[in-house]
Structure 1
């Protein structure tokens, strides 16, 4: 694993990569409520310039819906996989392939919202087939939320799982994987034939790291709180921005990881 101001072997100059970016905790600092995030003009300009340098081979891969991504980053529009790959927009101005909320997921969401409606700081985010329960503003409530969610899982089809993240949990269909989202992009231009690079910060990003590793790319995790498949770590969101500036815009050869923190294991 790479830490520190050392170089990672094998990453080509910027023009040879396809860059996939998680959003919350990676490009933007986490906030107590998903709607509280702010994107400044500097970040929009950085991403726009990076997309241009990569001939368009830059995409968001996020648990947010594509529509929410567009609202957050407007007027910037980029290819995006939302809901862990259950939604796709393969080009900046292409159609969004979306998924609806199944009846059994709606019933579970209704029941859990009713159970925790008096719990201050707990926020439910209903995203079609995905239900996110945010407890960043109420960490003491998380064990109760997790227990209730686990009990509710039995009422859903066998195609669902629960993934606990940095500050909450999500009900996800089995097929909702960032690995599949990245693989879909890698089948089409301008991503096809490039070396994939994925930057994320959470447990839900691990399948993406594994896919990228298998494809000979570079996996980068921000602030890992435990074991990770990522081959590189970065200390914070600001370091991600600096990495994009150095690796993509400057096109540094041999993968100078700049602000990353120590060495490949």
Structure 2
């Protein structure tokens, strides 16, 4: 589906479960992942939404859970980090984490040696390796070549995902759709209709999952083809849409189908 305009739907009253990507969806991208910050207004909004949905709110992100907790401190939500390789199924629950293969650190060292001095940031996230080229877009192709060449050195079951401004190497089981399905099998998500907001290639799997469940998929600032059924122009508009549809004090009491 090729979306060019802001086609985001108003939501009718219903029992919704909300899943949110972070970077590019709730926060503007920065050349370095640590260069972003969370406003108090956004923290308060998310806390209000979590209460309104009786807890049926979760981050579905490529960041680690530790990084997200640091960013949103003191707010802690349910979360799937590292594209679902980490989970915290309850805000105060334990973190289920995945180990990194032994070869990943050496690979990161090699890529860093070639690219880090050229405004490229190599982010080590356990079993996920992310190469950020937002500050040097001309090096995206070279970064992609390096991680694709590295596949033969890693255990079977790894893949390369190219994004808007970088490329990542991750296990096949790292999939946002699988993380959303896991949450949907648990209280307080079960029996609700899923809504997922994301902005990048890695979110497409999540859009497919939500579409198959009869939910609402929304891509922020879409570029070209996307599985998302709706679009939002930018981060500010995405936050405003969340405020309008989920930020009010009223609790959801009825189920309703979206009218096309």
* Structure 1 and Structure 2 fold alike (TM over 0.5): yes
Equivalents in 2 of 1:118, 1:44: separation in Å? 35
User: Which segments of 5 or more consecutive residues in structure 1 lack a partner in the other structure?
Assistant: 258-263
- Are 2:204 and 1:217 aligned? no
- Are 2:134 and 1:113 aligned? no
Query: Relative to 1, partners in 2 of residues 1:7 and 1:160: Cα closer, same or farther, differing over 3 Å?
Result: closer
Paired residue for 2:200? Answer: 202
Equivalents in 2 of 1:58, 1:81: separation in Å? 11
The answer on whether the counterparts of 1:247 and 1:256 sit within 8 Å (CA) in structure 2 is: no
* Post-superposition offset of 1:195: 0.3
- Are 2:65 and 1:61 aligned? no
State the TM-score, normalized to the length of structure 1.
0.90
- Are 2:180 and 1:159 aligned? no
Q: For residues 139-158 of structure 1, what are the structure 2 equivalents within 5 Å? A: 139-158=137-156
Q: Deviations over 1:29-74 (max 9, x none)?
A: 0000000111011000110001111001000000000000000000
Query: Relative to 1, partners in 2 of residues 1:240 and 1:6: Cα closer, same or farther, differing over 3 Å?
Result: closer
The answer on whether the counterparts of 1:88 and 1:96 sit within 8 Å (CA) in structure 2 is: yes
User: Which segments of 5 or more consecutive residues in structure 2 lack a partner in the other structure?
Assistant: none
* Post-superposition offset of 1:7: 4.3
- Are 2:80 and 1:81 aligned? yes
Q: For residues 232-247 of structure 1, what are the structure 2 equivalents within 5 Å? A: 232-247=230-245
Equivalents in 2 of 1:6, 1:87: separation in Å? 30
- Equivalent residue pairs, number: 254
Paired residue for 2:13? Answer: 13
The answer on whether the counterparts of 2:6 and 2:233 sit within 8 Å (CA) in structure 1 is: no
* Post-superposition offset of 1:129: 0.3
Q: For residues 183-194 of structure 1, what are the structure 2 equivalents within 5 Å? A: 183-194=181-192
The answer on whether the counterparts of 1:79 and 1:90 sit within 8 Å (CA) in structure 2 is: yes
The answer on whether the counterparts of 2:18 and 2:195 sit within 8 Å (CA) in structure 1 is: yes
Partner SS for 2:108: helix
The answer on whether the counterparts of 1:85 and 1:176 sit within 8 Å (CA) in structure 2 is: yes
Q: Deviations over 1:128-169 (max 9, x none)?
A: 100001010111222221122221222222300110101100
Equivalents in 2 of 1:19, 1:123: separation in Å? 31
Paired residue for 1:72? Answer: 71
